[in-house]
Amino acid sequence: MAKTIDSRIPEGPISEKWSNYKAHQRLVNPKNKLKLDVIVVGTGLAGASAAASLAEMGFNVYNFCIQDSPRRAHSIAAQGGINAAKNYQNDGDSVYRLFYDTVKGGDYRAREANVYRLAEVSNNIIDQCVAQGVPFAREYGGTLANRSFGGAQVSRTFYAKGQTGQQLLLGAYSALSAQVQAGKVKLYTRYEMEDVVIVDGKARGIIAKNLVTGKLERFSANAVVIATGGYGNAYFLSTNAMGCNCTAAVQCYRKGAYMANPSYVQIHPTCIPVHGDKQSKLTLMSESLRNDGRIWVPKKIEDAKALQAGTKEGWEIPEEDRDYYLERRYPAFGNLVPRDVASRAAKERCDKGFGVNNTGLAVFLDFSESINRLGLDAMKQRYGNLFDMYEEITDVYPGDLANEINGVKYYKPMMIYPAIHYTMGGVWVDYELQTSIPGLFAIGECNFSDHGANRLGASALMQGLADGYFVLPYTIQNYLADQSLWPRVSTDLPEFAETEKAVDAELDRLLNIKGKRSVDSIHKELGHIMWEYVGMGRTAEGLKTGIQKMKELQKEFDTNLFVPGTKDGLNVELDKAIHLRDFFTMGELVAHDALSRNESCGGHFREEYQTEEGEAKRDDENFFYVGCWEYKGADKDPELIKEPLEYEAIKVQTRNYKN
């Protein structure tokens, strides 16, 4: 029987767990806080908010990021918004409803207690950000505006045009800067964490590479927090920033931190389709567009064929010949079904031959109806920068009038297709956000905590900021309370020397392979394998083939990689090689987890387990658990450990977005 693990969820009814936790937790003596050091790796929304809050509470914080400024973390990419249960629209929202939607959206695979806490603190986040001056969109009368995101029938998403992540990060950055100025945070930009240092079974520091000088440096602290983002770039093509990587998380995994639910990868339905084999990045068109854009493909296969051949344009197809397939299949939620549902539906139409571009892998996102109803100016106010971005990339402006049929005006539609976007899986953490290594915490996208098998739109920013501003600053104190008796450990300890030596040897190994293939060429091939065998539709046979192919490619990486230059000074190729080494480990983990989970849920779709209508078919009897993976060595398969899920407030049922 598989081992199980305890998530340390407090006793008591769900609505009281968090308040009881806060009330009973042992606070570190305020005087001792001044002596305690915390390393926070990452300056995205999770990392920057945590670093600022911990410093504000009196801890000394060392904050690391790979970019030249915290303001350039991947979080700035977030376009659409952040959820909170404020109920400003008076449309029946509540903490319970946000909690319920999130658990249901995650296909009943999230830890219930964590999600309730998330919904509870969601409102504080908005207050905090407004106080910082984040310029959320407002109604004409001055109150904060909202829009809707997938998987919800209320309007609870707060936004700042299509740049919500950037504006939120500027808010967190000002809070961080105040603490830098106060001497409580020391920032290390252009530093990459290469490994975690474990002393007496506890995380006591990190080895980081100064990316400019190439030098390895040792840092010690009383606790280490990683906030290093997700592993979507394992698939090579994704909507993630090019620098996103999972090296810190994977090194922690190699040192004993469990990796949870790695197969839960989110494929976002509205991305600009792949348009060639020279591409290294995919672009997201925010889900917020589905508030006003309608998704369709032609009803008639001959129209689809003409679109694919380039002999017809979308705006030449009249209303009655369009299949708004999401509205048809899911009348209650229509275009605002959750991402996993929308992505699979697009794939289903394209697999049946109804794709609308030359590769047959695209569907339309059309604003004609909204423009006719509300006017182009209203669309520009809501999505101006997204329309511009789309035009810049494709040379098509979605608001251009293109045709009129029977008195109905048709505007040029966007073309979209699903792409890898977000990773729900990640480092396993307990209720206190502590990993299975004492003293090591994980927050934001790099942990697995709150989204189950599918994240709802605008919930990542909510989770990252909840973790950073409101949860970790409390929970970490439970651990640090004991640490106040301990002095900061010396970086001269043998554990630091050994860890640094191992990192250095790894850099030498990669440089000395001296093969013929660039990092990118191997990474691209890994991405193809993952998309093909571990992507939107998975089968047991395909997953086994995928694992085999990954192993073969890893051999190629180990024997035929070419990294130019030396380890002294800036060497971007060397840094990418380290990331790729870890994408291999992560890729195999995704496949192992997907293979072990003989059911479909959320973003994990096993073709063998689907209903007659092509919906995901869960198996709650056998798979109602968090799948945690323990590292067993480079040449061994990881071991599965289960955290059984326990729901007390929500009845587990089949997801239904039809009525």
Ligand X SMILES: Cc1cc2nc3c(=O)[nH]c(=O)nc-3n(C[C@H](O)[C@H](O)[C@H](O)COP(=O)(O)OP(=O)(O)OC[C@H]3O[C@@H](n4cnc5c(N)ncnc54)[C@H](O)[C@@H]3O)c2cc1C
Contact call for residue 265 and ligand X (CB under 6 A): no
Using alpha carbons, list the distances in angstroms from residue 308 to 55, 67, 186, 231: 57, 41, 55, 33
Cα 151 from Cα 351, distance rounded (Å): 24
Contact call for residue 53 and ligand X (CB under 6 A): no
Q: Which of 38, 51, 55, 65 binds ligand X (CB under 6 A)?
A: 65
Q: Which of 240, 343, 475, 499 binds ligand X (CB under 6 A)?
A: 240
- Give whichever of 167 and 240 is closer to ligand X, judged by the CB atom: 240
Give the x/- contact pattern for ligand X in 575-614, rule: CB under 6 A: ----------------------------------------
| Two structure tokens written together for 238 | 């994704």
Catalytic residue among 71, 111, 339, 581: 339
Contact call for residue 205 and ligand X (CB under 6 A): no
Binding part of the chain for ligand X, among 113-121, 456-464, 565-573, 639-647 by CB under 6 A, reads 456-464
Q: Which of 431, 414, 575 is nearest to 510 (CA)?
A: 575
Rounded to the nearest 10 degrees, the angle between the axes of helix 572-596 and helix 494-512 is 100
Q: Which of 211, 174, 179 is nearest to 194 (CA)?
A: 211
- Give whichever of 87 and 247 is closer to ligand X, judged by the CB atom: 247
Q: Which of 7, 14, 19, 12 is nearest to 474 (CA)?
A: 19
In the block, tokens 């045709």 appear at: 403
Contact call for residue 499 and ligand X (CB under 6 A): no
Contact call for residue 50 and ligand X (CB under 6 A): no
- Give whichever of 347 and 421 is closer to ligand X, judged by the CB atom: 421
Contact call for residue 45 and ligand X (CB under 6 A): yes
Cβ of residue 75: shortest distance to ligand X, in angstroms? Answer: 3
Contact call for residue 244 and ligand X (CB under 6 A): yes
Give the x/- contact pattern for ligand X in 502-541, rule: CB under 6 A: ----------------------------------------
Rounded to the nearest 10 degrees, the angle between the axes of helix 572-596 and helix 540-560 is 160
The torsion angles phi and psi of 13, rounded to 5 degrees, stand at -65, 155
Give the x/- contact pattern for ligand X in 127-166, rule: CB under 6 A: -------------------------------------xx-
Q: Which of 176, 166, 185, 154 is nearest to 80 (CA)?
A: 166
Q: Which of 5, 54, 62, 80 binds ligand X (CB under 6 A)?
A: 80
Contact call for residue 445 and ligand X (CB under 6 A): yes
Cβ of residue 286: shortest distance to ligand X, in angstroms? Answer: 6
Q: Of 278-307, which residues contact ligand X (CB under 6 A)?
A: 284
Cβ of residue 509: shortest distance to ligand X, in angstroms? Answer: 18
Q: What is the DSSP string of 17-79?
A: HHHHHHHHS-PPPHHHHTT-EEEEE--SHHHHHHHHHHHHTT-EEEEEESSSSGGGSGGGG--
Cα 24 from Cα 474, distance rounded (Å): 11
- Give whichever of 227 and 307 is closer to ligand X, judged by the CB atom: 227
Contact call for residue 271 and ligand X (CB under 6 A): no
Q: What is the DSSP string of 283-329?
A: -B--GGGGGT-EEEEESSHHHHHHHHHTSS-GGGS-GGGEE-HHHHH
Q: Which of 40, 121, 460, 590 binds ligand X (CB under 6 A)?
A: 460
Per DSSP, the three-state class of 156 is coil
First vs last Cα of the chain: how many Å apart? 40
- Give whichever of 284 and 341 is closer to ligand X, judged by the CB atom: 284
- Give whichever of 54 and 307 is closer to ligand X, judged by the CB atom: 54
Per the CB < 8 A criterion, the answer to whether 636 and 585 are in contact is no
| Two structure tokens written together for 72 | 């350039």
Q: Of 405-424, which residues contact ligand X (CB under 6 A)?
A: 421-422
- Give whichever of 303 and 432 is closer to ligand X, judged by the CB atom: 432
Q: Please work out the total of residues on this chain that contact ligand X, with binding judged by CB under 6 A.
A: 45
Contact call for residue 458 and ligand X (CB under 6 A): yes
Per the CB < 8 A criterion, the answer to whether 196 and 437 are in contact is yes
403, β-bridge pairs: 410
| Strand (E) or helix (H) holding 583 | helix 572-596
Contact call for residue 77 and ligand X (CB under 6 A): yes
Cβ of residue 246: shortest distance to ligand X, in angstroms? Answer: 8
Look up 109 and say whether it is catalytic: no
- Give whichever of 285 and 350 is closer to ligand X, judged by the CB atom: 285
Cβ of residue 460: shortest distance to ligand X, in angstroms? Answer: 3
Per DSSP, the three-state class of 512 is helix
Q: Which of 445, 426, 431, 428 is nearest to 479 (CA)?
A: 431
Contact call for residue 459 and ligand X (CB under 6 A): yes
Contact call for residue 40 and ligand X (CB under 6 A): no
Query: Amino acid identity, residue 26?
Result: R
Give the x/- contact pattern for ligand X in 344-363, rule: CB under 6 A: --------------------
Contact call for residue 435 and ligand X (CB under 6 A): no
417, β-bridge pairs: 271
- Give whichever of 284 and 346 is closer to ligand X, judged by the CB atom: 284
Using alpha carbons, list the distances in angstroms from residue 169 to 74, 242, 381, 525: 10, 18, 22, 34
Give the x/- contact pattern for ligand X in 164-203, rule: CB under 6 A: xx-------------------------xxx----------
Q: Which residues bind ligand X (CB under 6 A)?
A: 41-47, 64-67, 73-75, 77-82, 164-165, 191-193, 227-229, 239-240, 244-245, 247-248, 284, 421-422, 444-446, 458-461, 464
Q: Active-site residue numbers?
A: 339
